Amino acid sequence: MKNKNLYIGIGIFIALILLIIGIKACNNKKEKEEKENSKLTTIYVATGGGKEDFLADPDVQKILKEKYKLDVVFDTWSNGKTITKPLIRESVGFGDSDIVERLNNGEDITIQTEGVSKYDALFTSDQRFYDYYKLAPNKELGESLRYTVLDGGLTLNTPIVIYSWKPVVDALINEQIVTEVDGVYYITDMNKLISYILEGKKWSDIGLPNLYGTINIASTDPVSSSPGATYYGLLLSILSEAQVTNENIEANLPKLKDFYIKSGYMNNTPADLFERYLKTGMGGEPMIVDYEKSMIDFANSSPDAFEQVKDEIRILYPTPTIWNSHCFTVFTENGAKLYKALNDKEISQIAWERYGFRTGITGGTYDVSSIGIGVPQAITSTVTSLKMDTYNKLIDYLKES
């Protein structure tokens, strides 16, 4: 009995020692982390949507902190509000609470107002806003004062693609609209596809009697959605033979309005549209417009679900297509440090492999074969992004009743 009590006592003693060692180790680790964090440079970035998961990726955060000593705060902004609202943290509810209240009360606050929380950089999700931000604000349109831009450029890229299904694509190949090259499917006659939609051709007219209604490509609403606007910008460029002028835009806007009306109901976010495409299948969404990155992100985040559908899914690359470019705009020296860090090779690899962002324009350094679905090594046939005033003219025309 005595031996038993002795062993119990020894066990308790050892457990206490281990507990003390564990607590001390945790405290040491916490102190070390606090010490390391105190050495970090905090950077504030106004950030457009579409890349939240990538920026929050634990490995990306770890590289930024450990390799570059940067603690980055990404505040979410819509692209349009970066032009119309003062680009300060208080505009999105952070920073100084008194200034937030003054803004809510309608006081005229700008980036030059004393005490505001300024940004080191802007990370838009659409190149037209990046290009437009570098211009002087149009005071007649109520645009806010802007920071001086020190540097910046295209950082994350993904092309516009059309997602469809094997039977649909087979029919489009028979119509000589789609061409397969090395397992990748290209829409080599976009004008013909556009004309089929404008003419009201039915799916049954191209050998798909099981699909109800007229040929259509679902997209997000160009009036309220950046990807939808980018897609309609692509359509305008194609109808204008890649040279948008004042003359041909006037001739082509009625066609796009007709195209817009025939499209019917539109989702407001690409995530909702992509989910609908996957869940309703060919009968629900025969063709949709989205970004290339959506499928790569889906394949990585839901490998089992991807495995179930990958043989039936087809990615169609319009010829030409257009880039959706997330552009980084530098306002301060700290912003420049982050701009450099985001071009890190390891971060670029994570951007592609996990989230489908091409960090080089052609994406030529990536191994696309591991994805398991037809994705080209390089994107070579593209049109340039339209300028803000052209988009505004297009969107305003679509809004008209």
- pLDDT of 265 higher than 90: no
Q: Tell me the three state secondary structure of residue 248.
A: helix
Q: How confident is the model at residue 30 (pLDDT cuts 50, 70, 90)?
A: low
- Position 339 scores a pLDDT of 97
DSSP H helices in 166-263: 166-174, 190-199, 226-239, 246-263
Tell me the per-residue pLDDT of 235-250, one tens digit each, with 9 for 90 and over: 999 999 888 888 889 9
Beta bridge partners of 314: 164
Beta bridge partners of 18: none
Smallest Cα–Cα separation from 228: which of 52, 398, 346?
398
| First-to-last C-alpha distance (Å) of the chain | 93
Beta bridge partners of 45: 74, 121
The rounded percent of the chain whose pLDDT value lies above 70 is 93
Beta bridge partners of 121: 45, 330
Which comes out higher in pLDDT, residue 367 or 51?
Answer: 51
- pLDDT of 282 higher than 90: yes
Superfamily per CATH, domain 158-323+372-399: Periplasmic binding protein-like II (3.40.190.10)
Average pLDDT of the segment spanning 148-161: 95
Average pLDDT of the segment spanning 30-37: 56
Which comes out higher in pLDDT, residue 142 or 208?
Answer: 208
Dist. CA 137–CA 145, nearest whole Å: 6
- Report the chain's mean pLDDT, rounded to a whole number: 91
Please work out, in degrees rounded to the nearest 5, the angle formed at the alpha carbon of residue 51 by the alpha carbons of 136 and 217: 90
- pLDDT of 284 higher than 80: yes
- Position 16 scores a pLDDT of 80
Which comes out higher in pLDDT, residue 2 or 6?
Answer: 6
Tell me the per-residue pLDDT of 317-366, one tens digit each, with 9 for 90 and over: 999 999 999 999 999 999 999 999 999 999 999 999 899 999 865 444 66
For residue 294, give Cα distances in angstroms to 118, 138, 178, 275, 300. 32, 35, 21, 10, 10
